[in-house]
């Protein structure tokens, strides 16, 4: 989370990838960091990866991914989350 908030997204992703077990906080932190720093495609890709791993998004996840869609001006991506 610290790396993500500082804009050091590569370091944040490295820490994320090295975690032995991912939980909702780790998924949400990484998605939110991408969204905060205008890397919406990465946020959306990670969101889909989270779903493929069987993790159910929560309110925080949806807030972060919708923020990413807004910053990308990507209505189509926003609509995909509701499918």
Q: What is the maximal distance between C-alpha atoms in the chain?
A: 34
**Whole-angstrom Cα distance, residue 81 to residue 19?**
26
**Whole-angstrom Cα distance, residue 83 to residue 78?**
10
| Per-residue confidence (pLDDT) for residue 49, from 0 to 100 | 95
Model pTM score? 0.81
Per-residue pLDDT of the chain (83 residues; tens, 9 = 90+): 666 667 778 888 999 999 999 999 999 999 999 999 989 889 989 999 999 999 999 999 989 988 887 766 655 555 566 55
Q: Give alpha helix (H) positions in 1-83.
A: 2-5, 9-18, 24-36, 40-52, 59-72, 75-80
**Whole-angstrom Cα distance, residue 31 to residue 40?**
9
| Per-residue confidence (pLDDT) for residue 42, from 0 to 100 | 93
| Per-residue confidence (pLDDT) for residue 8, from 0 to 100 | 76
């Amino acid at each position: 989370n610290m790396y993500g908030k500082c804009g050091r997204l590569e370091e944040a992703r490295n820490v994320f990838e090295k975690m032995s077990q991912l939980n909702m906080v780790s998924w949400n932190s990484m998605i939110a960091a991408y969204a905060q720093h205008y890397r919406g495609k990465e946020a959306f890709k990670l969101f889909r990866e989270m779903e493929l791993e069987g993790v159910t998004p929560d309110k925080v996840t949806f807030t972060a991914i919708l923020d990413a869609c807004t910053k990308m001006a990507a209505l189509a991506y926003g609509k995909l989350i509701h499918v």
